[in-house]
Amino acid sequence: MTDLSTTHDEAVTDRTRLAGSAYNGDRDLAARQSLYRWQTPRYDLPGLVAEQLSGVHGRVVDVGCGNGKFIQRLRQDRPDLALLGVDIAPGILADVPGPVAVADATRLPVASGSADAALVLHMLYHVPDIAQAIRELARVVTRDGLVIASTNSDRDKTELDDLWQRAAGDVLGIGRGPARISLSARFSLEKAPAFLSEEFRLVEAIELPGTITVRDPEPVIAHMASYRAWADQHDVPFDATIDRAHALVTDHIARRGAYEITCLGGILVCRR
């Protein structure tokens, strides 16, 4: 679903929902991340980010760091960097190697011009005021600092959108059910450059297309079930739809040998 209703827009950005259920631990985020293990080509996203930071020395702030996947990699590959993880959800920070801070992306606890780079990886779509968050990024990085964002395309995983509508339609006894919520639509790969170019002179988009191929339904269903925090936004019985989707994927694999999902994400490298 490309255009979110006001209700869905509020749900995607609701801080209580984000901190209290969607990201109060890393189970659901890890389920979404793990689906990419079956993607071809296989992108090492933390490695790509580390590569983009090769010329950066000093302080890096990971805003919306989640379960710390990128911080852990940078601590391994770049022990020279001073890293700070920031997230609004205290629960998901439990296992992130410190220092970390609980803070909002629109009010970062970082002095102006004190960061040599900032990361905003698959998170700006959760911020109610995206433009203000980008102004904050521009404030905290040095004049020659680097900002790296990431998100998904509006065309990402359309097979899962179709699967949800088919399953929901079966549960409701209609042809096709309502669309599932889209987390990235507010700051998709197509929309992101316009937001970022308001504060950054150079915005380079690097697309990362691929195909996920699974021969077991479980990774697909775990990914779909990871949206449970937004179950009330789907206008359909959530568990029943997940169960029906499981049956549809199982049948598809039995008939065709595999289930394929087309992916399109990307990173955006920004300089002032």
Task: Give residue-wise pLDDT tens across range 126-164.
Answer: 999 999 999 999 999 999 999 999 999 999 999 999 999
Phi-psi group of 177: left, alpha or beta (phi > 0 → left; psi -120 to 50 → alpha; rest → beta): beta
List, in sequence order, every residue forming a beta bridge with 270; answer none if it has no partner: 147, 203
Q: Per-domain residue ranges for the chain?
A: 6-155+182-211+264-271
CA of residue 37 relative to chain centroid, distance: 16
In which band, very low, low, confident or very high, does the pLDDT at 166 lie, cut at 50, 70 and 90?
A: very high
CATH 3.40.1480.10 fits 6-155+182-211+264-271, yes or no: no
List, in sequence order, every residue forming a beta bridge with 73; answer none if it has no partner: none
Contact, 127 vs 53, CB < 8 A?
no
Give the residue from 107, 118, 182 showing the smallest Cα distance to 146: 118
Contact, 124 vs 130, CB < 8 A?
yes
Task: Tell me, yes or no, if the pTM score tops 0.95.
Answer: no
Give the residue from 16, 35, 162, 152 showing the smallest Cα distance to 91: 16
Task: Give residue-wise pLDDT tens across range 82-108.
Answer: 999 999 999 999 989 889 999 999 999
Task: Give residue-wise pLDDT tens across range 254-263.
Answer: 999 999 999 9
Q: Could you give the CA distance from residue 123 to residue 66 in angstroms, rounded to a whole number?
A: 9
**DSSP secondary structure letter of residue 237:** -
